[in-house]
Amino acid sequence: MSRARGVAMIGRRETLAAMVAAFGASAFAPLARAVAYKPDPVINTGPPAPVFTAAQRALVAALSERVMPTTDTPGAITAGVPAYIEHMLGDWAIDDERATIFGGLAAIDARSMADYRVPAVKATAAQQDALLTLAMNDKLPGATEFFPAFKQLVITGYFTSEVGITQEREYLPVPGEYDGAYPYAKVKRIFSA
Amino acid sequence: MAATDRFDAIVIGSGISGGWAAKELTEKGLRVLMVDRGRMVEHGEDYPFDGKPAYEIPARDKMPAALAKRDYFALNGWVSPSTQPFFINDRLNPYDYDAPNKFNWVRPSVVGGKSLTWGRWSFRWAPTDYEANKREGVGVDWPIRYDDVAPWYSYVEKYIGVSGGKENLDYLPDSEFMPPFPMNVAEKWLKGRLEGEFPGRKLINARLSNITEDKPEQNRTRCQKRSQCSHGCSFGAYFSTQAVTLPAARATGRLTLRSDTWVTNLEYDPAKKRVTGVRMVDAKTGRAEVVQARMVFLCASAMSSLHILLNSRPKDSERSWFHSNGALGSAVMDHIFRVGVQGEIPGMTELIEYGRRPGGVYVPRFRNLKTEELPFKRGYGYQGQAFRQPAMVDGFGADMKHGMREYGPWKFSMGAFGECLPYDDNRVMLNFNKQDRFGTPLLRFDVTFRDNEIKMMDDALEQGQLMLRRAGLVNVTGGRGKHVPGEAIHEMGGARMGRDPNTSVLNGWNQAHDAPNLFVTDGAQMASVSCVNPSLTFMAMTARAADHAIKQMKAGVI
Ligand SMILES: Cc1cc2nc3c(=O)[nH]c(=O)nc-3n(C[C@H](O)[C@H](O)[C@H](O)COP(=O)(O)OP(=O)(O)OC[C@H]3O[C@@H](n4cnc5c(N)ncnc54)[C@H](O)[C@@H]3O)c2cc1C
Ligand code: SF4
């Protein structure tokens, strides 16, 4: 009696989910798909689904900071770029695209071990720059597509972040006016879109 | 809704046309029920991303590709997380076509319709646009001419506020303008060079339903140059149902608005030749009811209105009441699109733009205006803008970072909108083998572009690049994609106006030949499509039809 009411109350999707889970890996594909089906589209606004191992995550952070370093304005790490990259790979990328990044990270690590006898994350900033330069110049087998993809991720993540939009660039939330002949010399910065 | 409720008129759809119908009819004394399938969006309160920079928008306002592909495939790049809440989910609301004849049907999912997300480019038609069908023997003749609509253009423009520059061009009549958004320095340079190299061709200010002067009586503030209009604008600085027509209709106290309510069909009395009711389904409860009124304004957007009309049919018949002459659903059109050209404007590198204009510049139609000797009929216009992007710097590290504080050169890019012809066999129909979640057969598209459209796209590509090169731009490039009908988001036709009840669906007052108490005032009415953006014309025609409807009602005719 109470069990029947419980089932009725948890609704169709949960019931199905509970049942399909019981089949484990042998769940019939259409059933699994029905469970996965969400009537409303969802964009992940929470923390990223983990994609990297701890070591990969640390390397991504270190390399993104080399690409967009802290100078007179904050760099990639302060801007939250590493999490952005993980978010992109977890929620957007498909397998091939993830492989480009994973492969590149592995190649950089391997070369770092060979040249400096430490994993890339432990290499000095100058050594990391040298490794990235090799990747950029196509001199790192397995990492040829890595550099442009990684640079794009860093730049996009940075210039859509609060740091990028309001500190590195000049943001006008409500400009009010438009001037189509404004001297660059007055700001010496890029106005954020 | 209580059974005691009595409405003089029902307006179906609350978008650009429906909002105008509700405003005009309520202001003229009628008790109006406006229904929309979409959810309620209140002005200001329900614009979650108004004023928000990218870092406060999910996914930094980049649509996850997989989600776009799965649920928003018709939008083909139009949608981002900030606008997605305003658009319909295509997966849950399917429509039908045969694979080679794809149609990208862009549909809103909110009260306000596409008025919240549209681009706001607003132009009057020219006299020649209303005459071309007759002159060329294409489609059917318009039962009206420019002079019939001109006062209604003025009426609408004064109310909503259209910014633009007076040009005195006979092929692009001026509106009642507020001052235009100024051109930037590079556009002014280009204007001089282009008009010098090509006498007769013009580069003019965009004409936009974004106001450049306050309208305090409407509680609207002039545009603040933020260029994020499709998030919704709580300044009310651009025309939308929420900012303009809905408050006016509500202020009369005679409007009832029902959101989340899908109209499936109209009930019809063939003996009296009248629409007797509107069948609607509550999207939340699934409960259906028929609501009656003395007249109906059908403003569900062109293709949705056709869907409703096609599905208004006798029991056990697949043929609509309004299909007596075979015209319903035929001669569906969309503008040509997917032709773009760009190049670099040399010099002026010490100057940049301050503020973000919501529009740019326009090159009005220059083809087939005086003589018609080209291998295609009609013409196209170009919408564009000059802009500067941050420099892209090679390498990485501090040098790259600081290098990106400079701008690249001025660039100019523009895209063409061109006129497609009304072909009788470009049609939509019902597919009785597939139904949507309200039991309505799916709308099925059979619309393709023909030789005339292809030739026009080729010409637009060639002329666009030629203009930029001869004006002195460098690194000029251009491209022409395959145009999938629907992509220009200017779908029109299917219930065209005409003089002859045997070949058209509506008369010159937007009244159905088969039911004088039914008015269709959205894009479905169009007998041809000009090459300019259509919505201002929908507004003018809706206001005109409402005025006529009231007169007929008072005269006891309907
Ligand atoms: C991104 C974009 C840019 C655009 N730019 C421009 C531009 O610059 N200039 C221009 O002139 N035009 C532009 N357009 C086109 C413009 O939006 C349309 O021409 C205009 O919105 C059509 O007005 P409408 O009232 O017919 O339809 P809509 O504004 O689409 O309103 C129709 C309403 O009817 C409702 N509805 C539909 N079916 C049903 C049903 N069965 N039951 C109940 N309700 C229903 C819908 O939910 C919707 O609210 C653009 C469109 C888009 C999407
Ligand atoms: S650019 Fe103007 S109309 Fe657009 S959102 Fe900003 S203030 Fe509103």
d(CA B484, CA B343): 25
A166 neighbourhood in chain B, CB within 8 Å: 53
d(CA B328, CA B322): 7
Q: Write the DSSP assignment of B4-41 as a string of letters.
A: T--EEEEEE--SHHHHHHHHHHHHTT--EEEE-SSBP-
Say whether B350 and A183 touch across the interface (CB within 8 A): yes
Nearest CA in chain B to A39: B92
Say whether A179 and B354 touch across the interface (CB within 8 A): yes
Burial letters B486-503, b for 16+ CB under 10 A, else e: bbbbbbbbbbbbbbeeeb
Per-residue confidence band for A33, with pLDDT thresholds at 50, 70 and 90: low
Give the Å distance between the CA of B303 and the centre of ligand 1.
10
Give the Å distance between the CA of B537 and the centre of ligand 1.
13
What are the tens digits of pLDDT across the range B355-396? 999 999 999 999 999 887 899 999 999 999 999 999 989 999
> Is there a contact between B542 and B521 (Cβ–Cβ < 8 Å)?
yes
Question: What's the sign of the alpha-carbon dihedral B289, B294, B299, B302?
Answer: positive
Tell me what pLDDT residue A96 has. Answer: 79
- From B165's Cα to the closest Cα of chain A, the distance in A is 16
Q: Is A96 helix (H, G, I), strand (E, B) or coil?
A: helix
B426's CB contacts (< 8 A; 6+ apart) are: B330, B331, B332, B333, B446, B447, B448, B485, B493
Give the Å distance between the CA of B216 and the centre of ligand 2.
16
Q: Write the DSSP assignment of B396-422 as a string of letters.
A: -SHHHHHHTTSEEEEEEEEEEEEPPP-
Tell me what pLDDT residue B21 has. Answer: 98
First to last CA, chain A: 61
Counting other chains too, the contacts that A59-62 makes at CB distance below 8 Å and 24 or more residues apart are A59/A105, A59/A108, A59/A109, A59/A119, A59/A120, A59/A121, A60/A85, A60/A86, A60/A105, A62/A120, A62/A121, A62/A128
Tell me what pLDDT residue A21 has. Answer: 60
Q: What does the pLDDT average to over A84-93?
A: 82
Say whether A183 and B81 touch across the interface (CB within 8 A): no
Q: Are strands A179-183 and B380-390 parallel, antiparallel or unpaired?
A: unpaired
Q: Kindly state the tokens that stand for B442.
A: 């799916």
Burial letters B530-555, b for 16+ CB under 10 A, else e: bbbbbbbbbbbbbbbbbbbbbebbee
Mean pLDDT, 10 residues at a time, chain B of 558 residues:
74 98 98 97 95 90 81 84 92 92 95 98 98 97 98 98 97 98 98 97 98 98 96 97 98 98 97 97 92 97 98 95 95 96 97 97 96 92 97 95 97 97 98 93 97 97 98 97 93 98 98 97 98 98 98 94
Say whether A177 and B185 touch across the interface (CB within 8 A): no
d(CA B83, CA B87): 7
Per-residue confidence band for A6, with pLDDT thresholds at 50, 70 and 90: very low
Crossing angle (nearest 10°) for helices A125-136 and A54-67 = 80
d(CA B242, CA B231): 13
For residue A78, what are the CA distances in angstroms to A61, A65, A70, B53, B162?
Answer: 10, 9, 8, 18, 44
Q: Which of B67, B70, B390 sits opposite A43 (nearest CB)?
A: B67
Crossing angle (nearest 10°) for helices B535-554 and B16-27 = 30
Query: Which amino acid type is present at position A74?
Result: P
Q: Kindly state the tokens that stand for A16.
A: 């199905």
d(CA A111, CA B275): 78
d(CA A24, CA B57): 37
Report residues whose beta carbon is within 6 angstroms of any ligand 2 atom. B 210, 223-229, 233, 235, 237-238, 358
Percent over 90 (pLDDT), chain A: 60
- pTM value is 0.93
Q: Is B485 helix (H, G, I), strand (E, B) or coil?
A: coil
Q: Which of A42, A66, A176 sits opposite B225 (nearest CB)?
A: A176
Q: Write the DSSP assignment of B382-393 as a string of letters.
A: EEEEEEEEEPP-
Give the Å distance between the CA of B79 and the centre of ligand 2.
18
Task: Supply φ then ψ for residue B374, to 5 degrees.
Answer: -75, 165
Tell me what pLDDT residue B343 has. Answer: 97
Query: Which amino acid type is present at position B236?
Result: G
Query: Which amino acid type is present at position B524?
Result: A
What are the tens digits of pLDDT across the range A96-144? 788 999 999 999 999 999 999 999 999 999 999 999 999 999 999 888 8
Give the Å distance between the CA of B224 and the centre of ligand 2.
6
For residue B289, what are the CA distances in angstroms to A74, B11, B504?
Answer: 61, 16, 30
Tell me what pLDDT residue B133 has. Answer: 98
Averaged pLDDT score across all residues of chain A: 83
Nearest CA to ligand 1 atom 5: B119
Q: Which of B106, B126, B128 is nearest to B117 (CA)?
A: B106
Which residue out of B52, B221, B223 has the highest number of ligand 2 atoms within 8 Å of its CB and is therefore the one to mutate? B223
d(CA A102, CA A95): 10
What are the tens digits of pLDDT across the range B398-432? 999 999 999 999 999 999 999 999 999 999 999 99
B79 neighbourhood in chain A, CB within 8 Å: none
Q: Which of B123, B226, B125, B194 is nearest to B165 (CA)?
A: B123
Q: Which of B2, B7, B5, B1 is nearest to B31 (CA)?
A: B7
Q: Which of B390, B388, B452, B419 is nearest to B184 (CA)?
A: B388
| Integer-rounded Cα radius of gyration of chain A | 23
Residue A50's Cβ-side half-sphere holds a number of Cα atoms within 13 Å equal to 6
Q: What does the pLDDT average to over A12-26?
A: 53
- From A49's Cα to the closest Cα of chain B, the distance in A is 13
Nearest CA to ligand 1 atom 23: B16
> Is there a contact between B112 and B46 (Cβ–Cβ < 8 Å)?
no
Tell me what pLDDT residue A2 has. Answer: 33
d(CA B488, CA B442): 22
d(CA A33, CA B106): 27
